[in-house]
Amino acid sequence: MKADPDPTTAGTRLGRAVATTTTIAAAMAGHRERHGKKNSLRDVILGGQDGLVNILGIILGVIAGGGSNTVLLAAGFAAAITESISMGAVGYTSTVSERDYYEAERRREEAEIETTPEAERQEIRDIYAAKGFSGDLLDRVVDTIVSNRESWLATMMDEELHLQPIDTPAIVRSSFVITVATLIGHLIPLLPFLVLARTPALILAIVLSALVLFGVGVYSAVTLVGDWRTSGLKMMVIGLGAAGVGFLIGGLFHAAGG
């Protein structure tokens, strides 16, 4: 049986504000969970697309330049290993930079609260006034927030600067996802050359790459926003177009050498 609301608060402005705040907090929790999923999707797309397009460009460039299958496989696997590690390292350092930026801004806000508390208190007041709080209710909200230094600081970071803390497990996870996605992206167009002759292997590599790029675009649209057909085609055209540059460059070198 559902409990009756507290008669002392349910009908008051403060009671309604508490209920609203609880609802918003629950919504924000869900938002942060979805935000984490979107970050993982970003890492998969970043690593996978980069790896696939990069290696397909190398394959096309080696073939257009007249290179042998041995050269193709050596260049392909060397690129797969080195770039996967490099992309993971880039993901790690960029996320560490985000964390360091958050910490630097947090220290700055902490110093401002310490040296100019009235100005920072007014900022809290302005933030919640803009949300529709006023009068005694606004005073209560501001007093509650500034009564706790950590809550005050967290509110400034979230509401004023729109920054969220980044913990070490998130940094490691992001780096790992990018590394694995990049490696898988490299292997998709490369593996056919281990089992097939050059021409059918090239056709299969291009078809597989096109399908994967289209699929990534579709998944991105379905998971986030947009038309799946447009997103899939756009991802495929951009990826194959970028890889095609490798073919043009290889052809130029082959022509120059010939």
User: What is the tens place of the pLDDT at every residue in 98-127?
Assistant: 899 999 999 999 999 999 999 999 999 999
Tell me, what's the pLDDT at 19? 44
Q: CA 144: distance to chain centroid?
A: 34
In this structure, the number of other CB atoms found within 10 A of the CB of residue 157 comes to: 18
pLDDT in the model for residue 17: 47
pLDDT (tens digit per residue) in 23-62: 443 444 344 444 444 567 778 888 888 889 999 999 999 9
Two structure tokens written together for 233? 């085609």
Mean pLDDT computed over 248-255: 85
Q: Which range (9-18, 173-182, 205-214) has the least confidence? A: 9-18
pTM for the full predicted model: 0.70
Q: Give domain limits for the chain.
A: 43-248
Indicate whether 6 pLDDT > 50.
Answer: no
Cβ-defined contacts of 81-85 (< 8 Å, 24+): 81/183, 83/50, 83/51, 83/54, 83/182, 83/186, 84/47, 84/51, 84/179, 84/180, 84/182, 84/183, 84/186, 85/179
State the alpha helices, DSSP H only, in 65-167. 69-115, 117-130, 135-146, 149-155
Residue 194, pLDDT above cutoff 80: yes
